[in-house]
Structure 1
Amino acid sequence: MTFSIVGRSPDGLSLGVAVASKFLSVGAAVPAVEVEVGALATQSFANLAYRVQGLAMLRTGTTAADTIAGLTAADPGRATRQLGVVGRQGPGATFTGDECFPWAGGVAGDGYAIQGNILTGADVVLEMEAAWLAEPGAPLARRLHAALAAGDRAGGDSRGRQSAALIVVRRGAGYGGLSDVEVDLRVDDDPDPVTRLGGLLDLWDLYFRRPDPATLLPLTGALADEVAGRLRSLGFADLAGWAGVENLEERLVEDAIDPLVLAHLRAATPDGAQG
């Protein structure tokens, strides 16, 4: 009833899951992830106990393949289950029970596992794999979404579209550096959830991704005067005050400005309105 990808970044520090389905709030059921431990997706009559049990096994250093073997061996309903697992290192693993509704199957490799059931065909998971392998240097959230979007374009769930979700963890990568949940986005009920999820990821990039140091613009001279004038026209004494109201505080840096923040400020202040 679902197609998903479980993945790990090349440096092994980021772990995540992306999933889509003709199922309400698929993100509430399928994914489980723990920083520096592993990630999994349970689907096709999902056994939600797999989430806690699987992460517990991965926490001890159990491989992805052995985690699947242990979980399914103890489950009398395993013939109807589908599962993908990635650990902190090594190859991912995928499992499809013999009684899953067709088309059902999966592929796995170093740092990823892709699986789906009730799909339009095998090309869904194959296109997902190709998209995953095409951009090894992309941020994990982007790479996972690219794979999910490729599966969606290839046909996805044969019953239609309803929900999608994306979660990525990395130590200290959450808001304010005080959480390990870097990205956690869900589209629970939408006619085009994978596209909508991509739009939310764009917004996440704007508001929460830390700026690239190579792109920062020094706040000196004419640029400093421009920024100060635009802030005055909006009633703010400093950049921090305005950025906090606009939810751009994660993009603030000392003595410089992120080009995305500058563009947002310029869009909020027509040139003739500078004070």
Structure 2
Amino acid sequence: MEWQDQAIVLGVRRHGETSVIAEVMTQTRGRHLGMVRGGRSRRMQPVLQPGNRVEVTWRARLDEHLGQFQVEPVSLRAARLMESATSVYGVQAMAALLRLLPERDPHLRLYNALDIILDSLHAPHEAGELFARFELAMLDELGFGLDLSACAVTGTTADLAFVSPKTGRAVSRTVGQGWADRLFSYPDFLARQGAAAADEVTLAEAFRMTGYFLDRDIYGPRRLKPPEAREGFIQAALKAARAANPSD
């Protein structure tokens, strides 16, 4: 069996003396593993760095086998991703999220989002917003998406200001103002297209909300702990937002 696809490197682990097992997120075949012969060579090590976009050719005798990858570079952005804390932690945190997906289960939306975000992680003012949206997309792809399109009570799509921790549905400002201490704030940068950029406060609110639903619906039932890289990314993103608005 053989196929070819675009892919983004998530990580590698040593296999024997010269080879590695590469873990990639492919465009059409989901998260996939394969052995790369000579993966520890000087030529291949720079290519097999997390965040790089590559073209992979997978071969195996049977579909259920691990198989072998032939890997060719397409966009080697790993060096740039080492330049800031948001990008270093962001790559690790997104890879950890993608490992929650079943292997070989296609998720084109997540592949495209990952590819876009990796090109923006070095810009801290954008990274926080994009990562929060990525977590919402992950919840949706795993079957636990939030319904943020309209107020759960009135059905209105205007002035949505809160999110219910019980139902994961949006609540309008009028309905929710008396229960604000029991609801999550729905940050403007998520709620409204073209809203003002996120700041330290709205980013913190967004990550508190996504973290709650990830813990309740995914990590908790699987008895997993959230990846440490997520907290590292959040702190780096909040620090960047604080530096961008020193007077706040």
User: What TM-score, normalized by structure 1, do the two folds share?
Assistant: 0.28
**Higher RCO (C-alpha 8 Å, min separation 6):** 1
User: What TM-score, normalized by structure 2, do the two folds share?
Assistant: 0.29
Indicate the structure (1 or 2) with the bigger Cα radius of gyration: 1
